Structure 1
């Protein structure tokens, strides 16, 4: 006769472990790298949208949004996560602050990379627009500059 207070058997433990793995592993895509680990791929493009899914056909617009999505992803540290950045210049209005958790785990890294064959620039610079010709004879141009930023350097 068995009691209802018995501890679960080893077979029950194994079964629950398999169910747990089957539940979480499909969230990692079937793409496997050379190491055999599962991979999630996100994409960012200058013509993307932060309301998009982040796949190659519907990329995110900003690196900041990709970072937020990855931080919320329960598979971070379980699957390798690649952020593939399509060609273009990405202007940051504030620093992209990363911490140790943003790098993933051994064998399940988070990698930010230019898409294959593409050239990417990530810039914290602010563009100066609205140039007007101030003095035609001396060829002097002027533009309003945001003094709140108080840049130490100005390149024209």
Structure 2
């Protein structure tokens, strides 16, 4: 029985050593990208994309990646700083936005920060309709899909939303 326990201990030690080595190599590979870009809601798309001079938008980051893609060896890592990135139109990706060879293009949150990419439009001009309801107009040519109040999904009044086919002008009550 002692022999089986010693053999099992040797196998477990070897597995632990291999696991630690694999974990170290993965961390080392992730820690040394071929290029690293930074994006911040306070940045500017004319910036270089460094941590001190970040880009501002997802589209700006995509365009910066396109300029260097294929000319650097290793992964291109795009780090989004915390904050909200407002999108007024879709950002389109295609084959130009894929990594070349064994290199990857990685879009990620920077460290423990929380970036939010949002196409939401703030609704202003709320007026009290009665004791329980408020009213605001939405002049949009897009379909109203979700409704959030203070970052929490909310339900609209079931009898006060009028829209022809879901597009156009809305009266939210």
TM-score by length of 2: 0.60
List per-residue Cα deviations over 1:90-140 (Å, max 9, x = no partner).
Answer: 122222222233121343111100001111222222222x233233x5243
SS in 2 for 1:64: helix
Q: Where does residue 140 of structure 1 map in the other structure? A: 133
Whole-Å separation in 2 of the counterparts to 1:77 and 1:55? 16
Q: Which residues of 2 match residues 1-156 of structure 1 at below 5 A? A: 33-34=28-29, 39-73=34-68, 75=70, 78-128=73-123, 130-135=124-129, 137-156=130-149
Whole-Å separation in 2 of the counterparts to 1:133 and 1:58? 41
Query: CA offset at residue 142 of structure 1?
Result: 2.1
Q: How many residues are aligned here?
A: 122
Query: CA offset at residue 34 of structure 1?
Result: 2.2
Whole-Å separation in 1 of the counterparts to 2:99 and 2:72? 5
C-alpha contact (below 8 Å) 1:76/1:108 kept by paired residues:
no
Whole-Å separation in 2 of the counterparts to 1:121 and 1:106? 30
Gaps of 5+ in 1: 1-32
What is the CA RMSD across the aligned residues, in angstroms? Answer: 2.5
TM-score by length of 1: 0.66
List per-residue Cα deviations over 1:50-76 (Å, max 9, x = no partner).
Answer: 121110001011110110111122545
Gaps of 5+ in 2: 1-27, 150-173
C-alpha contact (below 8 Å) 1:50/1:65 kept by paired residues:
yes
